[in-house]
Structure 1
Amino acid sequence: MAVQSFSFFSGALYARKVCQVYLPPSYDASEDTRYPVIYLLHGLNGDETSWLVKGGAEAQLDRLMGDGTLRESIVVMPSDGGYGHGTFYVNWYDGTGRFEDYFLYDLMPSIDREFRTIADRSSRALCGLSMGGYGAFVLALRNPELFGAAASIAGALMSTGLMTEQFLRSEVSRLVGPVHGPFARELDLHVLAARMLREEQRPELHFNCGFSDYLYPLNSAFKALLDQLNYPHDYAEYEGEHNWDYFGGHLAEALAFIERSFAGAPAGEAPAEIG
């Protein structure tokens, strides 16, 4: 079976967690071959099965690896941490949970120990939809030494400067804290992207969104910012709404971008230390 459930303990959340792991067709044929790893993130109200059940991810991965659009890779579909409607894959201001720590210091090392990954930023990428699109970008921009590329499909590409008063009075305030405070700045994609201009390593970025998607203004605003910063990126927009027809329909595009980012990656590198 190409997809298997993998459980591990999270010290950050003090809980047993489960993720779904897609293993490439040749994985069992050799005990020496190592593979790039892609983390495929779900959206709000989702879980580690969402991409499989609703997005047809397994069939798409079989097809893309079969026709060479995507090289054989390990694809990990994790939970965001399982709190409330969604965690956004970050540590929360109010101390509710350390969901970035769970991802970086529990999930990723467990995957690198259990499976034959190439544990190097050049062979490690993130991809996500909606909340997971934000998660992919915020994790990559905050940790460019760990991720070489990130892709967002109809992502919630948030900046505190674009949040409405109603939005700030929602559960989001528990996540970011005071909108003008230092904690919120560390989760603001506009701030993080600008900061990357000073870094030698910066993640390659792809994002796409539908014109009829309620998150389209956030995507177009982020594109305008990247254009202003001269931050190289790959962006596309289409007709489409915020639904699984769009998410699943544009997964192949995001993964083809990740393949291009992998194209210059060295093979068989020694695992990088995390933590």
Structure 2
Amino acid sequence: MKKMLNILGFLFISIQLFSIGNESKTFESLEMYSNILGQNIKYSICLPAGYDTSKDEYPVVYLLHGLGDNETAWVEYGRISQIADKAVEDGEIVPMIFVIPQGFRGYYVNFYDGSFNYQDMFIQELIPYIESNYRVKNDRQHRATIGYSMGGYGALILPLMNPDVFSACVPLSISVRTDEQYMTEDPKGWDDQWGRIFGGVGTYGEDRITEYYKQNSPFHIVANADPKMFSQLNIYIDNGDDEQTLAFSNEELHILLRDKNIPHEFRVRNGGHEFRLWREALTNGLRYLSDAFENKPYRGDIIPNLSIKTELNQSLKTIEIAGKSYEHFTPIGYESSSRLYPVLYIFSDLQKPEKEHIITFINELIETTEIPALEVLFIPSDEKNLSNIIIPSMENEFKARKGFRFRAIIGIGEGGENALISAMNPEQFTSCAIFDASGDYEKIKYTFLEIGPKSLERTWFYIDNPDKGPNYSYNGKIHMLFREKSFYHEYRVSEGEGGFPWLINRLEEALKFTANKIHR
């Protein structure tokens, strides 16, 4: 009996030791001495489960923190171990080591006067130190960066200036400025944030655009470099649509990269300058890096599965208005009830099977009470008689509830511009959503400024477009125009080139946005 207890005790201890050896481990605020900076540099490190019980080597990701934070930020606020452990456990990513260096307030570059050569320290000392003291794969393919805000700048500028060192990067909410922003920013804040690093303290306007600044500006680097220089660099940029200054600069950077045909991923999601957004970005950001480490094409972002029934409860019907035919959807109970309904008007040139697919999805959301019962009327992209003929007919003959609050509009592709122009008629529509819209930006800008944001504040706008679609500049400029005028809207950029499969995956959020405004 005693022998049996000893055996069980030995097995219990062995299991405990094995479990401990198979847990991920985080070590905070370790130190490395830098000869280049003449001081200790703190860093935190997260080692994957199994590190102590194997002889495996691992890819390494350098996690960079924002201005005012330190080497513990990604551990505490970013929850990097929790998120990465779960992703490894689910088979979404390969195990990897995370290093979080102390970044001070230096934007991860060398200072113009040579007083603080942080980037030299990073490349010449930190990376060799990590590769000498931890089992990391010491080649370009297995090194990457992730960072937020100031760290987003670092996560991008380090690979741009050292494309032979890193294979991939995930910059989040990049604290970067266009030249226009850089030249006009408040002198007090500018001197402290930028002038001390890139030179030009006490200057304003073009005098701030020093040669040293150009050498360290992602805009100037990308604009002046041969695009082939970055053909092997994997870039995944993520930003929040509620950002202030960074809404403009990140969007302009995306447009520049597209114009230069430099491959990259670009996302804009709901949120501002906050850790919630950056934590959520890790789900796809880590998948992106994992694929790069394995030299595989990116699998793509995780998209929630859409549960759509194969058969309609109500079919798409054709109605006549002023001698023209339109396809019309009505919810269950329309024929037998005397109640009135909100109407969603959709400008598009979709084929009937695509319209039926959309109606199937809308019907499902109505049945699950996620959106209210409503009618849908499909109208051509170039329809000119919506306000003066179609709406009065719908409200007089087809049980449409009267009043702008019960009218919503969606524009798809070429129908996007017509939807925007229609919605810019004050208090005619409660909301307007556009998907991969195309058109004349100057026409939209003129109409918006002529009418004035104040007159349109009761109409909500929603803009969604694919990051690799042809209309990236048109949609991005409308977003920046609205942000410049502090005009409320929601803006999304998601993965893809556009087309109907992309649209159907993006439709749900916009429909719920519309429903919230109808029943606000």
TM-score by length of 1: 0.89
1:117 counterpart = 2:136: yes
CA spacing shift, 1:157–1:259, aligned 2, 3 Å: farther
The aligned counterpart of 2:57 is 34
The aligned counterpart of 1:183 is 212
1:231 counterpart = 2:262: yes
1:162: how far off? 3.7
CA spacing shift, 1:163–1:236, aligned 2, 3 Å: same
How far apart in 2 are the matches of 1:159 and 1:135? 16
CA spacing shift, 1:114–1:48, aligned 2, 3 Å: same
Amino acid at match of 2:155: A
Please, which runs of 5 or more residues in structure 2 have no aligned partner? 1-23, 201-207, 297-520
Q: 1:36-115 counterparts in 2 under 5 A?
A: 36-80=59-103, 82=104, 86-115=105-134
Q: Are the aligned partners of 1:39 and 1:75 in contact in 2 as well (CA < 8 Å)?
A: yes
Q: 1:258-269 counterparts in 2 under 5 A?
A: 258-264=289-295
Identical-pair percentage: 28
1:200: how far off? 6.9
Tell which deviates more after alignment, 218-227 or 194-203: 194-203
Q: Are the aligned partners of 1:93 and 1:177 in contact in 2 as well (CA < 8 Å)?
A: yes
Q: Are the aligned partners of 1:38 and 1:76 in contact in 2 as well (CA < 8 Å)?
A: yes
Q: Are the aligned partners of 1:134 and 1:158 in contact in 2 as well (CA < 8 Å)?
A: no
The aligned counterpart of 1:170 is 191
Alpha-carbon deviations, 1:128-187, whole Å to 9, x = none?
001101101000000000000111111113344541423564221121124333211111
How far apart in 2 are the matches of 1:100 and 1:159? 22
Please, which runs of 5 or more residues in structure 1 have no aligned partner? 266-275
SS in 2 for 1:246: helix
How far apart in 2 are the matches of 1:161 and 1:150? 26
SS in 1 for 2:216: coil
Q: 1:132-147 counterparts in 2 under 5 A?
A: 132-147=151-166
1:19 counterpart = 2:37: no
CA spacing shift, 1:26–1:237, aligned 2, 3 Å: same
CA spacing shift, 1:189–1:200, aligned 2, 3 Å: closer
CA spacing shift, 1:161–1:189, aligned 2, 3 Å: farther
SS in 2 for 1:170: helix
- With CA pairs under 8 Å and 6+ residues apart, which has the higher RCO, 1 or 2? 1
TM-score by length of 2: 0.48
Q: Are the aligned partners of 2:230 and 2:262 in contact in 1 as well (CA < 8 Å)?
A: no
Superposed CA RMSD: 1.7
CA spacing shift, 1:30–1:196, aligned 2, 3 Å: farther
1:243 counterpart = 2:266: no
SS in 1 for 2:43: strand
SS in 2 for 1:208: strand
How far apart in 2 are the matches of 1:13 and 1:19? 15
Q: Are the aligned partners of 1:153 and 1:254 in contact in 2 as well (CA < 8 Å)?
A: no
Computing the radius of gyration over CA atoms, which structure comes out larger, 1 or 2? 2
How far apart in 1 are the matches of 2:185 and 2:136? 43
Structure with a larger share of its residues in helix: 2
Q: Are the aligned partners of 1:134 and 1:152 in contact in 2 as well (CA < 8 Å)?
A: yes
How far apart in 2 are the matches of 1:200 and 1:246? 27
Q: Are the aligned partners of 1:141 and 1:202 in contact in 2 as well (CA < 8 Å)?
A: no
Aligned residues: 260
SS in 2 for 1:163: helix
Amino acid at match of 1:112: E
